[in-house]
Structure 1
Amino acid sequence: MTIVPLYAGLLALWFLALSFRVVQMRHVVSLGDGGNPELLRRIRGHGNFTEYVPFILLMLGFLEASHYPAWLLHALGATLVVARLLHGYALSFSLQFKFGRYWGTVLTFLLLIICGLLCIYQGIMAPVSPL
């Protein structure tokens, strides 16, 4: 595998940035969000990433292992990076970037649909090897 690790690495760096944004505010509240709206946004930006990215990367890994075309894997991986940058920036770095939150969500859901359908197709259409 050579394609999915590229996107996993890029996303790991963005995850680190989102994590750091939460840690920066831990001087205000040590556990939870303490009702602080800015800290809550940062926590949700970080948490939302962890809710979607691993599952989509897993599906991309299945698709790469199934020898889907490199152009398709790069398109899906790049879209995931863009989607999560938009969404993470909108939640963790900005109060008024509705464009990022909206399109980050739309692209993430689109990836869930496309990757999910491709994985279902692969599961149904893959030849079964005899025992």
Structure 2
Amino acid sequence: MDASNFRTTLVVGAAFGLMQTFLTANVILTRRSSGITMGHGDSKLLERRIRGHANFCETAHMGLILIFLLDLSYTNKVVPASLAALLVAGRCVHALAFNDTKPWVFGRVGGMAMSLTSISLSAIALLVKAAGLN
């Protein structure tokens, strides 16, 4: 198998690797500046950044797996690329919402809506492919 057949997965994997690094570093730097080494110590900012990092860890990997399976299953890369773009945009918006010092409800809700829409549509597209309907 040639890696060029999985360009969408490669790009999403790279983007998610960078996002994971950013979110992790953000928690570490916030811990360092607040002097809190465990938990969130009643710091709303640290609590929000921990949750943003955790939420990324809870959702991004499933999305990446589904994008890989779409890349593997579809010769026409429009479906995987479109769903990947929605997923990455959703994760970026959500991460920015949790990184902000003030709560940003649209970013939090909108980012999750985009991410979950991508994950759901990816799963449906794979079921359609598995059923031989496409």
Measured against the shorter chain, the TM-score band is 0.7 to 0.9
Structure 1 residue runs of 4 or more that deviate by more than 3 Å after TM superposition: none
- Relative to 1, partners in 2 of residues 1:81 and 1:91: Cα closer, same or farther, differing over 3 Å? same
1:97 matched to which residue of 2?
104
Distance 1:34 1:96, change over 3 A: closer
Aligned length: 126
Q: TM-score, normalised by structure 1?
A: 0.87
1:17 and 2:46 are equivalent in the alignment: no
- The structure carrying a bigger helix percent of its residues is 2
User: What is the one-letter code of the residue matched to 2:59?
Assistant: Y
Aligned to 1:129: none
Gaps of 5+ in 2: 1-5
- By how many angstroms is 1:68 displaced? 4.6
Question: What residue is the counterpart of 1:124 in the other structure?
Answer: 131
Equivalent residue in structure 2 for 1:8, among 13, 16, 31: 13
Partners of 2:15 and 2:88 within 8 A in 1: yes
For 1:1-131, list aligned pairs within 5 A: 1-27=6-32, 28-125=35-132
Opposite residue 40 of structure 1, the aligned amino acid is: E
Whole-Å separation in 2 of the counterparts to 1:125 and 1:50: 32
Identity %: 24
Q: Cα RMSD over matched residues?
A: 1.6
Q: Residue by residue, what CA displacement relative to the aligned partner does 1:50-79 show, whole Å, maximum 9, x if unpaired? A: 111100110111111112521221111111
TM-score (norm 2): 0.86
Q: Which amino acid in structure 2 is aligned with residue 81 of structure 1?
A: V
State the 1:114 CA deviation.
0.2
- SS of aligned partner of 1:33: coil
Gaps of 5+ in 1: 127-131
DSSP-derived class of the 1:112 partner:
helix
